[in-house]
Each structure stands twice: as structure tokens, then as C-alpha cells.
Structure 1
Amino acid sequence: MNSKTLNRFLDDRIADLHKHGLYNEIDVVQGANGPVIMIDGQEKVNLSSNNYLGLATDERLKTAAKQAIDSHGVGAGAVRTINGTLDLHIQLEQKLAQFKGTEAAISYQSGFNCNMAAISAVMDNHDAILSDSLNHASIIDGCRLSRATIIRYEHSDIKDLRQKAKAAIESGAYNKIMVITDGVFSMDGDIAKLPEIADIAEEFDLITYVDDAHGSGVTGKGAGTVKQFGLEKRIDFQMGTLSKAIGVVGGYVAGKENLINWLKARSRPFLFSTAISPADALASTEALEILMNSTELNELLWENGNYLKVKLGNLGFNIGNSETPITPCIIGDEKQSQEFSKRLFEEGVYAKAIVFPTVPRGTGRVRNMPTAAHTKEMLDKAITVYEKVGKALGII
């Protein structure tokens, strides 16, 4: 017999989410996640994917994945430290280090997994972590898992960061202090002030950690935010994913060889979870080759992102202060954000509402993710629908 206490808890909490417009309905995509997707048998212009460069459906990556399956099978077969380290994993990690301009790199099963692994492998309850107030959930959870003291600084507020770093050092309470930030903040599209953060880190001997999940493949002509600012030698941890601009799945940390060796010896997902599949490893390596040899897809991404941003801004939508192709339409009210997304869907545009707890309460929005694979015709269709629905709901 199921627990009555559990059922009451779940029913009450789910009803409360529905009441406040915070319950997230999951849509099933029929087929590939490209610039146009099929849901319930209907085509929708897709503005909610992290597939920035369109590589998730690229024929070159599909060919590589098929080759890997034929030569290495569908799974790695073990954790990396037993016999799950394939030659394909080594090739991928060598390419990642080359891509990020570091001595070495280590791959993980996902970006979220990566942050859980890397932070807790280096930081402990005798340490402190200075964390941007808008950092991604995976960073927050990784910091919690480490048991270090978490000191939040105001979002991209360099003065606040410096004051809190100084106070933490002068307290003498911590063995090590890390400063951690997203490179690109995925909900607003702004870029961290990495040169200033690096200066403060050097002044106070802080460990530096940059989560560049939404920057790699996007900023710095595709090289990412750390390389955009020429900080490869000044940032200790460059973390990224293989699931966004790279188009596959997985996560990685790039840095000094001794850091990577330590993560291989002590980061728990590396030690206790089966390695990424051969197909994912080889397809990711192929994607990195494409990015390192050409900026064509990156340029298309920015062209489409700027086009959509200008058009939506001119219509009167609040698109915030994004510095990247990420284009939020900030509505505010959670229920109205959900209704706006629903009406867009009915008109043939898939742009998911983002509400608390992903963003702070009262800042509900529809977040648009234009990609290199979108055509101007697709974007124009979306813009027309945005104008129609925005006026109908009194948003513009």
C-alpha cells in the first residue's frame, strides 16, 4: 500500500505549482531537435533549443557516431578507472585541451555531473566559495556538495566580489577560496566580467572556475568566453558541456595537467559512473574539429541572434541586456509568461516559458534561442507571431 503521507504531500505541492503558474508541462518532440520541430503532429519554429550551431543534426556528426558504434559498440562498458577508457575518450580529451588552450582535459557524462564532480573534488568544509548570485543550479549543487562555506556576491558586481574576497581572506577561516561564475548567464545572455574577476583572483590568490556551458561555441568566435578575453593561462577550471553548441552530450573540465590528474583520481562521477558512449565521444570530437577549422556556423548564429533581437526589441518587448544570441522576452508575471508561451505554441512557435525556480520570482519570461540552422523565413514567421500574440495579451 502506498504511503498516504507521501500522496498528500505530492498532491498538495503539485496543485500549488499549478495554482501559481509554476508547473512545467513537458512536451514530446517527434523526431530530431532542429530549427523546426514536430510536436503532436504539428510543425513549430523551434526557439527553445540549446543546439546553437545546428550540430545535433549535422550529417558529419551522424556519420562519426555511426562509425564509432560500428567500431566500438554502443556503450563504454565500464567506469573510466577500470576498463571504460577507450581510445576515443583520449582523442576527445586531447582535442578539448587543444580547443580550450590548456594542458589537459577530462570528460564527464553531463555538464551538471561535471560541476557536481569537479567542485567537490577540490573544495571541502575548510574552504569557501565566492559564487555569483545568478550561477546555474549545477554550480549551486556542486558548491553544496563540497561542504565549503558559500559566499554569494551580487550578480557581476565586481566591487561586491572584491569586498567579500578581502573579508574572507582577512578572516583567516579558510584553507582555500574559490571564485566561481558562469561565463554566459543562460537566462539573461550577459557575459561575466572575467578580466576583472581574474585580477581579483590574482590579488587574493583565489582559485578560478568558469562554467562556459553557454559560451563555448558561441562567444570568442566559438572558442568561448575565457579565450575571448585571452585568459587561458589565468583561469584554473574551464568547464563546459558537449550538449549545447557541440550538439552531443557530456561535460568536461580543461586546465593544468595536475588538476586533471587529481580529478581523475578523486572526482566521484568519473570514478563511479560509466563513461560517455563511443558514439558521443567521436561525434563530439568531430564537432570540435569543425569549430576549430571554421567560424562559419558561429557567424550564422550571431547573424540570426542579432536579427531576432533587433526585431523583437523594435516591437516593444523587454529583451533585457543580453550580450549573446540568447534573447529573453521578460514578461514578469509567471501565469502571463505561461499563457504567452501557450499562445505562441498555438500559432506555430515553440518558445518555452521560464519561471521560478529557474529565474527569480516575478521575472518570468519566454527565452528565445536562435541558432545557426534557422533561416530568415523561420525567424520572420516567429516575429510575426510574437507581434500578434504580444498585442493580443497587452504585452506590447
Structure 2
Amino acid sequence: MPFEPRLWTEPSWEAPSGYGLMFTGGENAHPFADIAAPAPRGHVPAMTNKKPGEQSAGWVLMKHLADTAADAGVHTHYNTRVGRLVVDGDRVVGAEVVTFGERSFVKARRGLVLSAGGFGANAAMPGNHLTGTDGDDGSAIRMGQAVGAAVLHMEAGQTAFPADPALLYRSLLLDRHGNRFINEDGYPGRAGQASLFRQDRQIFLLYDDTANEETRQASGYVVEPTWVSNDLAELETEMGPAPGALTATVGLYNAAAEKGEDPVCHKSAGWVRPLKPPYGVLDLRNAMFSIFTTGRPVHVVSRRGPLARRRPVPGLCAAGRTTSGIPAWGYCSGTSLGDSTFSGQRHVPRRRQAP
């Protein structure tokens, strides 16, 4: 697959055409940049006719993988749903499948691999665990559980932030009390997680005309604010925090920003500057948060007995987001590919020799 040797440095969900490299996981932001020297590890395949959110890097990657599988002789059965696994004793030996109402059975020669995503689109499972990606109905996870597989991190999930990253980086992300709670220049999904799991979606974005114009130039994203005012006290009346709370938050931020600093949330200096009136506020309370789950079977080990003594379910494997892998709780762009590659290359560890 071709990659353009150009680095995209603007905050965005995906680099535009002509750029093949970007920071995709907040590696260059606090707290991660304080731990290790950041490197742009996000590789974006080159393609024509890119349509963000519809036909982009993931699409072209899957086309290459699908074509390679077909060339290798892999047979794909479309419009086919797996109903349940078939076992012989403790061993998984096949699966029952349904195609346009016709039921049949597939026999596994060596084993069966579950690889069907999470469970965000299952009506019942989020009530028991969490609330996705369309089609992720949890069927593979439930089939694994049915034959004894243990599960892990079923309460975990990743959520996208409901505003453009170019605006988020240039704004102040506030809770219902008018306080900041995370640095705005990290991976947008991390801000989304904090907003959903820690703030129950009761959040606001505060910005100014400069941030709005820079966002428009960087991404073409036009922000329609919920409220606009030169007076922070007037915005407090609209937003609902305690009197003086918003004024104090902006005053503290601006005083440090004059020095290029952010001692409260440690936003990178390149994104730190004082906000000036008129101010705009985007009310994101109860906004729609796209989410996918990251909990699933633990490499299909049996749930019987303590975890340290559990053994693999014979004949059953799993890959991708159906397994509890690299993004077990936190997630950043690219780790789905790392997870699928990792689980596809894992080898069964050698048995220890008896002492």
C-alpha cells in the first residue's frame, strides 16, 4: 500500500489526501509526552476520491486485505449468519450457519476463529455491561461464553468526542460547574471518554472568534455556537454554573496563557493562548456520543477456576475486537489494526517442562 511521505500536524480525525503520517493517539500531549519522546505513528494510506466517514483509509486498507485473501484462495460466504458453535465434549468442532433461512453446519478442520467486533449494537448486552459500531451485536462474544470462555473489561468502551478536534484543541472543555477537567489537545477519544464516563456528558466548549476562524481554515468546520457574549457573567446565567465560576476559570487560564503555560491541565504550549471576547459556547450536554465496546473474551480461556489456572478452550480462537487485547480499556486511533495484527500473529506458548 502506498503512503505519502508528508506529516499532517493539524488536529483532525484523519489526515487529508496528500499526507501519510500524523499523530493519532495524543502521543505529543500530556501526560504521554512527559513519559516518552513522541513520534507520529499514524500511517494513512494514500488514496483518491477520499470521503471522510464514508470511504477513507480504513476502506482502502480493507480492500487490499480482502483482495489478498481472495487471491490466497479464501472462500467468503456473504449474507450468512453464525447461529451457534458446535462442540464435541469440550472441543469446538464447527458452527451452525444460516443463509437466507437455510440452516447448515460447517466443520472446522483445526479450529474456529471468532472475529466479529464488540457488542455496542446488541439491545440487551449494554444493559448488563455498557453501551457502537453498526452490526456489532455481540454474537461472537456470546458464542464464546456459551462454550465456557471468560470475559474481561465488559464495562469498557471508547467514545468519540462530539465536536471537531480542530475546535477542541483551541477551546476550553468545561464540566457542568464551569471547570476544566482534561487537557484539550490530547487524543479526542480520550476527551470523549472523560466526558462520558467522568462527566456524564454534561460538558461545554468555550472558545473565541480566533479559535473559530482557525478551525474553519484548518478543517472547513463551521461552528454554530449555542450562546455568544462579551460578558462571561452573562454566559454563566445561560450555562448554569455558580456565579463567578466561569469568570474564575477563564481568568486563571488567561493569566497563565499570557506566559505560554497551562499549570492546571498542561495543554501543550503551541495551543495555549488567552481567549478574548466575544466568547462562544457550544452546549454539548447530552450530545450524541458514538461509542464502541472494548470488552470481550480473554483470548477464549475457560472461565472455570481462578484466572491464573484457566486454560484455552480447545478448538476456539479469537481475533480483533472480539478479543480482550491491546485497547483493553483505553483506545487511540490505530490500535484496532495493531490489535488485529497482534492477535493474528500470536503463537501458543510452549508448555513448561516439569521440574
Larger Rg: 2
Q: Which has the higher contact order (CA 8 A, sep 6+)?
A: 1
TM-score (norm. length: structure 1): 0.21
Between Structure 1 and Structure 2, the one with more strand by share is 2
TM-score (norm. length: structure 2): 0.22
